[in-house]
Amino acid sequence: MLRLLIVDDEILVRIGLKTIIPMGGDEFEIVGEASSGVEALAILEQTPCDIVLTDIRMPDMDGLELLKHIHERWPDTKTFILSNHSDFSYVQTALRLGAAEYIVKLEIEPAELMRKLRDVRDKLLGEREKRLEASELASKASRYGREVKEKRLRELLLSPATRRETDDWLAEFEVAPFPSGLTVALVQIGQYEQLLANNRFQSELLLQFTVGNVLTELLKKYGRNELATLDDGRFALLKEQPNPDMLEEMRHAVQTFLKLSLVFGVSRPQHGVYTLNAAYEEAREALEHLFYDGGAHVSYRAEMPACDDAAAEPWQEETLERLIEEHDEAGLLKLLADWVRELQERRDVRPAAVREMWKQLVNSFSRTLKAEGADIYAVPPHEERYPYRTIRQAETLEEIHDWFRGWIPNFLAYKREHGRNKWRTEVQTVVRLIAERLHLPLKVSDLAGEVGFTENYLSILFKKETGETITDMMTRMRMKKARDLLRDPEIKIYEVSERVGYADPNHFSRSFKQLEGMYPTEYRKLVLGKLQSQRIVQN
């Protein structure tokens, strides 16, 4: 519906027009009337109009002067001139000034007036549609350009590049050089895996898009910079020198508006844009070094000690296994506390190497159970997490240590009660049936029928004997078989899913990550990479 304004000092003309135009149905809406150009301007300043029907001769400000104001201030508004026969010279002037049509007052025919209004309406709508299409095309082109620019920047950051590749990026997207050098800061959304699990933002893409928008808007006030979205809740910021106040404002803005936390890893200053990958690696190392200090928000590569992974041997295997066999909870906790304290004081071991040491610790615990026919995944999870998942996903050393302080008592309790495999014959039969039928959709009721128990009685007995539910044991045994199958690169992920009883590969992937802390594809890549490294060493 187009909005109309009627301007005429003759009240009968205004009444007549207000009577005729509503006959157009829902095509037009009369939003006001005025008796002079001055009144009309006051209305236009408050109420946008699409069409103005105005007399030429009026007191205070005539139609021609009003037309000039409309043409200058509201160029998209169309104007109809209302005239008398004696006003023809004025009409010619009005048409030169951009009037869309003119109407002789004494000859107004309702049908003719409506036809002319509809012609102008069609023209207006056509112009709007063209502008909208042009705007959308420009927006798409701009968005596409930004996406390609950001994609190329990601490539320069994540992999070593030649000077020509960098120069091509600078030239193609008209990126001005950083005359004083630049620094790369990596921005990480805190507790990222937990955020995805809680599904607060509905999708990972929406989460990163939302945070990216907040950062982009805030960074406009800080001059030259380039921001690129990476993966796993990270962003790379290129700036001559990101000052602490700017980083703190970024953190505060995201905390205030989105209730999320940010941490930063900052590279050393670089001489130019030709070392983007090296600067990125420094920023990544700095970000990872926050592993040693969960209370800090920024880590600078320039302030980190030199790393020496070989200098931190955590424990003697014989000592660790002796403490486990003796169920010496206090001794185990002290062993870990002393080791963690040494790491915190030195801070010269890469976090990735420390995580591998924690995995070696779990392997030692696992071996003592395997010798008794049990499995590390049968130990009840602490805080709904299993060991490997905790090691891979925890953000700080203290977080891992805290979790193990709670898990070790669970482990020792399980080992005392269930480690010797003294299960009743019926329970052992159920375990054997599960192992034989992992590829099938198993029901507890069917298993209960095979050993002559009710479903409820079997469930209670099974939990009492083994320390875990039938469903938990099914999942654990399926994931153990899945880990073995994933070592074969010829077996597709969906085939692994089917062989361990999951019809839906997505459900399988989620269940696998719940135990391992990574998806099957990530696990396969990790394991095959280690096997390849071992073969290279052996050769």
Cα–Cα distance measured from residue 430 to residue 448, given in angstroms and rounded to the nearest whole number: 8
pLDDT at 513: 87
- Give the pLDDT of residue 423: 75
Strand, coil or helix: 216 = helix
Task: Report pLDDT digits (tens) over 229-274.
Answer: 998 899 999 998 888 999 999 999 999 999 999 999 999 998 778 8
327-347: average pLDDT: 91
- HEC secondary structure over 327-364: CCHHHHHHHHHHHHHHHHHHCCCCHHHHHHHHHHHHHH
Using a pLDDT cut of 70, give the percent of the chain over it.
92
pLDDT higher at 143 or 7: 7
Sign of CA dihedral 269, 270, 275, 278: negative
pLDDT in tens, 453-469: 999 999 998 888 887 88
> How many CB atoms neighbour CB 356 within 10 A?
13
Read off the DSSP letter of residue 61: S
Q: How large is the average pLDDT for residues 17-37?
A: 81
Indicate whether 539 pLDDT > 70: no
Q: So where are the chain's domains? A: 2-128, 159-302, 309-418, 425-538
Task: State both tokens at 254.
Answer: 């995201």
| Rounded average pLDDT over 109-132 | 84
Q: Which amino acid is at 285?
A: E
Residue 324 CB-density burial (10 A; 0-12 exposed, 13-18 middle, 19+ buried)? buried
Spatial distance between the Cα atoms of 537 and 533, rounded to a whole number of angstroms: 6
pLDDT digits (tens, 9 = 90+) for 205-223: 888 889 999 999 999 888 8
Is the separation of the CB atoms in 4 and 49 below 8 Å? Answer: yes
What is the pTM (predicted TM-score) of this model?
0.60
Average pLDDT of the chain?
Answer: 85
Q: Which CATH number fits domain 2-128: 3.30.390.10, 3.40.50.2300, 3.90.480.20, 1.10.3720.10?
A: 3.40.50.2300
The better pLDDT of the pair 97, 290 is held by: 290
Res. 15 pLDDT band, cuts 50 70 90? confident
Residue 145, pLDDT score:
62
Structurally, at CATH architecture level, domain 425-538 sits in Orthogonal Bundle (1.10)
- List the Cα angle 195/199/203 in 5-degree steps: 100
pLDDT at 55 over 90: no
Q: What does the pLDDT average to over 352-356?
A: 91
Segment 289-318 mean pLDDT: 83
Give the model's pLDDT for residue 294.
76
**H or E stretch at 31:** strand 28-34
What is residue 100's predicted lDDT score, i.e. its pLDDT?
77
End-to-end CA distance of the chain: 80
pLDDT at position 179, please? 73
Predicted pLDDT of residue 118: 87
Per-residue model confidence as pLDDT tens digits over 408-454: 999 998 887 765 556 788 888 888 888 888 888 888 999 999 888 99
Looking at residues 76-84, what average pLDDT do you find? 83
pLDDT score of 391: 93
Confidence of residue 141 (pLDDT cuts 50, 70, 90): very low
Burial class of residue 257, CB neighbours in 10 A (0-12, 13-18, 19+): middle
Pick one of 3.90.25.10, 3.40.50.2300, 3.30.70.270, 3.40.50.720 as the CATH number of 159-302: 3.30.70.270
pLDDT at 211: 92
